[in-house]
């Protein structure tokens, strides 16, 4: 077992690497961890010591609705992203590499463009007098403009667009790793194309899907700009609520409480994600 | 001899460092065309007159002001804030008292003056309407709340602030002089009747975009934004019926580093000329009563201070007392 021999060496390297990251960790602790903790502390200190902010937050139907919205929007965005992302990742994996490179460039370019600019672009496209509605009406498909923005539809479209690369890239990696011979073997064993897809291919891509989906879900939970611009007030998400408490109402106790709830949920999901990604890399080795 | 020399150097260095510090103040406002106009009308002139550089920052953020004051690291010397916030923050100890030996308040519109703030400019919530996009334009708040006579989307200010609740009550038939204390139950009940038809605007530019594109062809907007939209060639109509006034205020956060220069800056900003220049550039009204005389009469006619016939004044003191309670209820109602 060569890995047993290599083990102490790896450990030393790891320790040395860790030491070299100390300045960065210290920086993070000072400028990120301390401020976050001080905000979270306010949630039990303001206006007085106690859990009153949490009681108010979790006891109000309005705020519970915001929690529900946050999870619902994140779930919808994750499902839509998977539905669109899977065929794209699949196509990319079997495309001639020259063409795949072009598609990748388009994907990455969209990620590098300013988020606010992209969101405003969607606003212009989706509004009642926007390009999409005008085109559909011109073609006679609809006779009244569809409500595509300032509601859940707008948020879903805008966020799915932003999240797609985060699902396509891990899925692409997973699919590329699948040996095409496995599909041949499935065919030889008498599986038709549908069976090959559902019984062989899909199960093999589960780790990639899980990793991508969790990443998208977790990122969506804390999203601010896109829901604020493309959503209506009745689908407010948690990040907007926190911004409102902190900036507009200047109620940092409630802001801190809402932030802690979001943090706990996100960290829990992150732990789940780590497990999945861990499993995947174990399997790959 | 040596000591004298050393102390002279030290004194010179000290003088240099203090002057270096005071040769700069930071002004925060809301960005966009309004802050550009404030820079041109006030900051550039202040620099020419006093040699003090005015650094522009923003957008104004009440959370940031709180953080700065609490941490005793205030980097904003003069801040443009909303009037209701100014009245509340003054009472909560977040602001410096203004020095009225430097700032002449005798000519300032007293509606917008407190111990801690003076009016920066004042605006009216008016009914703006894209004439080309609709059959008829709503003229009164009652019209704007009437979805039968005026079908389609309408736009209102998203944030909890004086304006929308007053409009709802006026639309429901409350007399202008009986508005305060605000009957919130009644206001929200009225707002419920059009909730599905409201598109909220969160910033001035968005209100212009909504009306120009006819996404929401009419709504309650800041008057200056309609003036600016008309200048770009959009056929807009402004109804001043029961226009609701509210003001922005200039304040100095508690513990600001350049308090003296800040007072001088505010003195210039609220002078007759400073206010006239800003009003000419923005379409908002001057808070200095002598400014109108310095302005082009044609331009002065379009400003809220000439539309007093049916004007309704939002009560900043009432808002200061109730800002938190109204805000919580407002956002809860929106989210439902």
Q: B187 and B102, same structural domain? A: no
Paired tokens of A89: 């990742």
| Partner residues linked to B56 by β-bridges | B27
Read off the pTM: 0.79
A146 — contact with chain B (CB < 8 Å)?
Answer: no
Please list the alpha-helical segments (H only) found in B32-121. Answer: 32-38, 44-50, 62-71, 83-91
Is residue A224 within 8 A of residue A243, CB to CB? The reply is yes
Residue A244 — pLDDT band, cuts 50, 70, 90?
Answer: confident
Q: B138 and B64, same structural domain? A: no
For chain A, what is the total number of helices (H) and then of strands (E)? 15, 0
Domain count, chain B: 2
Is pLDDT at A253 greater than 80 in this prediction? yes
Paired tokens of B311: 């004007």
Prediction ipTM score:
0.73
The strand pair at B118-130 and B53-57 is best described as unpaired
pLDDT for A6 equals: 52
Q: B239 and B163, same structural domain? A: yes
- Segment B66-81 shows an average pLDDT of 94
Q: Which of A62, A128, A246 sits opposite B335 (nearest CB)?
A: A62
Closest by CA to A165, choosing from A229, A274, A84, is A84
Q: Which of B66, B214, B332 sits opposite A62 (nearest CB)?
A: B332
Q: B281 and B214, same structural domain? A: no
Q: B105 and B133, same structural domain? A: no
Is residue B47 within 8 A of residue B53, CB to CB? The reply is yes
Task: Please give the CATH superfamily to which domain A53-284 belongs.
Answer: MetI-like (1.10.3720.10)
Is residue B121 within 8 A of residue B279, CB to CB? The reply is yes
Contacts of A132 (CB under 8 A, 6+ apart): A125, A126, A146, A148
Q: B227 and B127, same structural domain? A: yes
Paired tokens of B95: 């602001």
Q: Which domain holds residue B202?
A: 123-246+314-335
pLDDT for B5 equals: 54
Q: B236 and B273, same structural domain? A: no
Q: B331 and B298, same structural domain? A: no
Residue A278 — pLDDT band, cuts 50, 70, 90?
Answer: low
Contacts of B86 (CB under 8 A, 6+ apart): B95, B114, B116, B117, B249, B251, B316
Which of A231, A248, A252 to substitute to test the interface with B, most B CBs within 10 Å?
A248
Q: B133 and B116, same structural domain? A: no
pLDDT for B190 equals: 97
Q: Each residue of B253-300: pLDDT tens digit?
A: 999 999 999 999 999 999 999 999 999 998 899 999 999 999 998 888
- Segment B42-61 shows an average pLDDT of 94
Tell me whether the omega of the peptide bond preceding residue B59 falls within 30 degrees of 0, making it cis: yes
Q: Which of A77-81, A128-132, B269-273 has the lowest mean pLDDT?
A: A128-132
Residue A32 — pLDDT band, cuts 50, 70, 90?
Answer: confident
CA distance A234 to chain B (A): 4
CA distance A250 to chain B (A): 6
Q: B331 and B198, same structural domain? A: yes
CA dist list (Å): B232 to B30, B60, B78, B91, B301 = 22, 27, 32, 42, 19
CA distance B334 to chain A (A): 6
- Segment A249-256 shows an average pLDDT of 90
Q: B191 and B325, same structural domain? A: yes
What CATH number has the domain bearing residue B8? 3.40.190.10
User: A259: which chain B residues are within 8 Å (Cβ-Cβ)?
Assistant: none
Q: B101 and B172, same structural domain? A: no
Paired tokens of B170: 């006026």
A252 — contact with chain B (CB < 8 Å)?
Answer: yes
């Amino acid at each position: 077992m060569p890995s047993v021999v290599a083990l102490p060496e790896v450990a030393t390297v790891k320790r040395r690497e860790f030491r070299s990251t100390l300045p960065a960790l210290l920086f993070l602790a000072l400028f990120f961890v301390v401020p976050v903790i001080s905000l979270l502390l306010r949630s039990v200190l303001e206006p007085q010591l106690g859990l009153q902010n949490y009681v108010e937050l979790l006891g109000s139907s309005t705020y519970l609705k915001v929690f529900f919205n946050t999870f619902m929007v994140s779930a919808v965005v994750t499902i839509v992203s998977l539905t669109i992302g899977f065929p794209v990742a699949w196509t990319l994996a079997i495309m001639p590499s020259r063409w795949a490179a072009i598609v990748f460039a388009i994907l990455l370019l969209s990620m590098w463009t300013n988020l606010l600019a992209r969101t405003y672009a969607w606003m212009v496209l989706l509004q009642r007098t926007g390009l999409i509605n005008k085109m559909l009406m011109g073609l006679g498909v609809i006779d009244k403009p569809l409500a595509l923005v300032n509601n859940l539809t707008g948020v879903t479209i805008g966020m799915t667009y932003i999240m797609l690369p985060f699902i396509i890239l891990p899925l692409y990696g997973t699919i590329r790793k699948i040996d095409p011979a496995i599909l041949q073997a499935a065919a030889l064993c008498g599986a038709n194309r549908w069976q090959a897809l559902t019984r062989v291919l899909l199960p093999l891509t589960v780790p990639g899907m899980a990793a991508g989906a969790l990443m998208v879900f977790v990122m969506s939970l804390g999203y601010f700009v896109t829901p604020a611009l493309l959503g209506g007030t009745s689908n407010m998400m948690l990040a907007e609520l926190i911004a409102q408490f902190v900036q507009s109402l200047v109620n940092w106790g409630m802001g801190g409480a809402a932030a802690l709830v979001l943090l706990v949920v996100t960290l829990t999901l992150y732990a789940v994600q780590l497990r999945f990604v861990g499993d995947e890399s174990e399997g790959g080795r | 001899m040596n000591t004298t020399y050393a102390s002279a150097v030290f004194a010179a260095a000290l003088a240099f460092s203090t002057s270096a510090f005071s040769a700069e103040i930071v002004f925060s406002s809301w960005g966009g065309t309004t802050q550009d106009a404030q820079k041109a009308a006030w900051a550039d002139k202040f620099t020419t007159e006093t040699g003090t550089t005015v650094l522009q920052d923003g957008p104004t953020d009440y959370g940031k002001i709180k953080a700065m004051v609490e941490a005793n690291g205030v980097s904003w010397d003069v801040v443009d804030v909303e009037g209701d916030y100014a009245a509340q923050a003054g009472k909560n100890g977040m602001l410096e008292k203004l020095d009225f030996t430097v700032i002449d308040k005798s000519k300032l519109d007293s509606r917008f003056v407190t111990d801690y703030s003076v009016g920066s400019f004042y605006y009216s919530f008016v009914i703006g309407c894209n004439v080309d996009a609709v059959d008829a334009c709503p003229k009164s708040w009652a019209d704007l709340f009437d979805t039968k006579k005026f079908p389609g989307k309408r736009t209102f200010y998203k944030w909890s602030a004086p304006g929308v609740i007053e409009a709802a009550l006026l639309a429901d038939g409350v007399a202008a002089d009986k508005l305060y204390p605000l009957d919130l139950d009644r206001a929200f009940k009225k707002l419920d009747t059009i909730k599905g038809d409201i598109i909220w605007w969160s910033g001035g530019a968005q209100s212009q975009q909504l009306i120009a594109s006819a996404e929401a062809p009419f709504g309650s907007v800041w008057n200056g934004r309609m003036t600016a939209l008309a200048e770009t060639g959009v056929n807009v109509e402004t109804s001043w019926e029961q226009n609701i006034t509210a003001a922005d205020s200039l304040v100095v956060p508690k513990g600001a580093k350049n308090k003296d220069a800040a007072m001088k800056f505010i003195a210039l900003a609220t002078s007759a000329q400073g206010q006239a220049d800003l009003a000419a550039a923005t379409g908002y009204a001057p808070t200095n009563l002598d400014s109108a005389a310095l302005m082009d009469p044609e331009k002065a006619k379009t400003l809220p201070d000439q539309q007093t016939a049916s004007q309704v004044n939002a009560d900043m003191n009432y808002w200061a007392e109730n800002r938190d309670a109204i805000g919580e209820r407002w956002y809860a109602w929106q989210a439902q």
